[in-house]
Amino acid sequence: MNKKIANLIDGISADGLLPDTDTHKLRFNVKSASSNRLYRVSVKKSNNEFQCSCPAWVFRRKCKHIDAVSPVLEKAVKLLELE
Protein backbone atom coordinates (compact mmCIF):
# COMPACT_ATOMS: atom_id res chain seq x y z
CA MET A 1 0.00 0.00 0.00
CA ASN A 2 1.13 3.48 -0.86
CA LYS A 3 2.80 5.41 2.00
CA LYS A 4 0.76 8.52 1.09
CA ILE A 5 -2.43 6.54 1.67
CA ALA A 6 -1.20 5.24 5.03
CA ASN A 7 -0.32 8.80 6.10
CA LEU A 8 -3.77 10.06 5.06
CA ILE A 9 -5.52 7.37 7.08
CA ASP A 10 -3.23 7.79 10.10
CA GLY A 11 -4.50 11.36 10.40
CA ILE A 12 -8.11 10.23 10.93
CA SER A 13 -7.80 6.74 12.39
CA ALA A 14 -7.87 5.66 16.01
CA ASP A 15 -5.21 3.02 15.37
CA GLY A 16 -3.95 3.20 11.79
CA LEU A 17 -4.80 1.37 8.62
CA LEU A 18 -6.04 -2.21 9.02
CA PRO A 19 -5.36 -5.02 6.53
CA ASP A 20 -7.66 -5.36 3.53
CA THR A 21 -10.15 -8.22 3.45
CA ASP A 22 -11.56 -10.08 0.46
CA THR A 23 -14.40 -7.57 0.25
CA HIS A 24 -13.10 -4.32 1.79
CA LYS A 25 -10.10 -1.98 1.49
CA LEU A 26 -8.92 1.14 3.32
CA ARG A 27 -10.20 -0.24 6.63
CA PHE A 28 -9.66 1.69 9.87
CA ASN A 29 -11.32 2.49 13.18
CA VAL A 30 -12.69 5.85 14.26
CA LYS A 31 -13.60 6.84 17.80
CA SER A 32 -17.14 7.75 18.67
CA ALA A 33 -17.56 11.39 19.73
CA SER A 34 -20.20 10.46 22.32
CA SER A 35 -18.78 7.27 23.85
CA ASN A 36 -15.61 5.21 24.02
CA ARG A 37 -16.71 2.93 21.17
CA LEU A 38 -14.75 2.36 18.00
CA TYR A 39 -16.46 2.06 14.63
CA ARG A 40 -14.95 0.44 11.54
CA VAL A 41 -14.92 2.56 8.38
CA SER A 42 -13.99 0.92 5.08
CA VAL A 43 -14.42 1.01 1.33
CA LYS A 44 -16.21 -1.87 -0.38
CA LYS A 45 -13.99 -3.23 -3.15
CA SER A 46 -16.77 -4.07 -5.60
CA ASN A 47 -18.20 -0.55 -5.90
CA ASN A 48 -16.01 1.80 -3.79
CA GLU A 49 -18.93 2.45 -1.41
CA PHE A 50 -17.91 3.93 1.94
CA GLN A 51 -19.25 1.89 4.85
CA CYS A 52 -19.31 2.21 8.65
CA SER A 53 -20.18 -0.19 11.44
CA CYS A 54 -22.05 2.42 13.50
CA PRO A 55 -25.81 2.03 14.08
CA ALA A 56 -26.66 5.12 12.01
CA TRP A 57 -24.96 3.76 8.90
CA VAL A 58 -26.30 0.23 9.41
CA PHE A 59 -29.90 1.48 9.60
CA ARG A 60 -29.85 4.61 7.39
CA ARG A 61 -26.75 4.19 5.21
CA LYS A 62 -25.61 7.67 6.32
CA CYS A 63 -23.51 8.68 9.30
CA LYS A 64 -21.34 11.47 10.67
CA HIS A 65 -18.25 9.24 10.57
CA ILE A 66 -18.45 8.83 6.79
CA ASP A 67 -19.31 12.53 6.38
CA ALA A 68 -16.23 13.48 8.40
CA VAL A 69 -13.74 11.26 6.58
CA SER A 70 -15.15 11.08 3.05
CA PRO A 71 -12.78 13.74 1.60
CA VAL A 72 -9.80 11.72 2.86
CA LEU A 73 -11.29 8.44 1.65
CA GLU A 74 -12.00 9.88 -1.79
CA LYS A 75 -8.38 11.01 -2.06
CA ALA A 76 -7.12 7.60 -0.89
CA VAL A 77 -9.32 5.75 -3.41
CA LYS A 78 -7.94 7.93 -6.22
CA LEU A 79 -4.38 7.19 -5.11
CA LEU A 80 -5.14 3.46 -5.12
CA GLU A 81 -6.49 3.69 -8.66
CA LEU A 82 -3.20 5.25 -9.77
CA GLU A 83 -1.12 2.35 -8.41
Question: 27-69, pLDDT tens digit by residue?
Answer: 999 988 888 899 999 999 999 999 999 999 999 999 999 998 8
Axis-axis angle for helices 3-10, 64-82 (nearest 10)? 170
State the pTM of this model.
0.85
Inter-residue contact 37 to 60 (CB < 8 Å)? no
